[in-house]
């Protein structure tokens, strides 16, 4: 399945969240990761992330499309930077 | 169709981009808007946004799911703030 994850997480925890997401998905831009993953990976990723964040102040949205063919993606503008520059 | 739009836009243009997106979609968090729109609205929205941004430095991703039933959305953590606080 194809998954898009966006997060709004305190600076204190943002590196941990990014590193965890990078294990499963590709960085797109800002606070957005995306990519294909299995249901098992998705559940593990959610469990891991939800141990890191503060549920009172941080926020994560998950968008899941079971069949990647049902999702169209368009991009306009500058090419994304290389995440490795940041980690 | 259901559309998710994420942007990475210079501070100089970010307010214009947000105001334009607010005409069509709901703000989710950070630089993410989402919602249902017609194909005509989507094309108009893209045209409008692409007039505002600097194509050399700014970046916008559009994710489109024709049938909203094909998209599952999950949220964990803090509830989103009210966008009206910012505009």
Instruction: Identify which of B65, B20, B38, B47 has the alpha carbon closest to the alpha carbon of residue A4.
Output: B65
Residue A50: list chain B partners with CB under 8 A.
Answer: 76
In a domain, B57, yes or no: yes
Residue B50: list chain A partners with CB under 8 A.
Answer: 76
- DSSP letter assigned to residue B10: -
In a domain, A27, yes or no: yes
- CATH number, domain containing residue A33: 3.30.70.240
Contact status, residue A48 vs residue A17, Cβ threshold 8 Å: no
pLDDT at A84 over 70: no
In a domain, B41, yes or no: yes
- DSSP letter assigned to residue B28: E
- Range A14-35 average pLDDT: 95
* Domains of chain A: total: 1
To the nearest whole number, what is the mean pLDDT of chain A? 91
ipTM of the predicted assembly exceeds 0.85:
yes
**Choosing among A3, A5, A21, A32, which should be mutated to test the B contact, i.e. which has the most B CBs within 10 A?**
A32
The whole-angstrom separation of Cα B82 and Cα B28 is 9
The model's confidence at residue B87, banded by pLDDT at 50, 70 and 90, is very low
Which helix or strand (DSSP H or E) is residue B48 part of? helix B39-52
The whole-angstrom separation of Cα A55 and Cα B76 is 7
Cβ–Cβ below 8 Å for A73 and B79: no
In a domain, A82, yes or no: no
To the nearest whole number, what is the mean pLDDT of chain B? 91
DSSP track, chain A: -EEEEEEE--HHHHHHHHHHHHHHSEEEETTEEEEE--HHHHHHHHHHHHHHS-TTT-EEEEEEESSGGGEEEEEEESPPPPGGGT-
Distance from CA of A13 to the nearest CA of B (A): 14
In a domain, B84, yes or no: no
B51-68 pLDDT, tens digit per residue, is 999 999 999 999 999 999
Question: In terms of residue numbers, what domain contains A60?
Answer: 2-66
In a domain, B75, yes or no: no
Distance from CA of A65 to the nearest CA of B (A): 5
In a domain, A77, yes or no: no
Name, in order, each residue with C-beta under 8 angstroms of A51's C-beta and a sequence gap of 6 or more: none
A59-83 pLDDT, tens digit per residue, is 999 999 999 999 999 999 997 655 5
The dihedral of CA A9, A15, A21, A27: what is its sign? positive
The whole-angstrom separation of Cα A4 and Cα B15 is 24
In a domain, A8, yes or no: yes
Q: Which two tokens stand for residue A81?
A: 């930077």
């Amino acid at each position: 399945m194809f998954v898009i994850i966006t997060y709004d997480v305190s600076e204190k925890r943002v590196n941990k969240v990014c590193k965890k997401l990078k294990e499963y998905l590709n960085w797109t831009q800002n606070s957005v990761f995306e990519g294909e993953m299995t249901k098992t990976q998705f559940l593990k990723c959610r469990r891991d992330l939800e141990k890191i964040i503060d549920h009172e102040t941080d926020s994560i949205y998950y968008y899941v499309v079971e069949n990647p063919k049902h999702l169209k993606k368009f991009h306009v503008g500058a090419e994304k930077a290389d995440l490795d520059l940041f980690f």
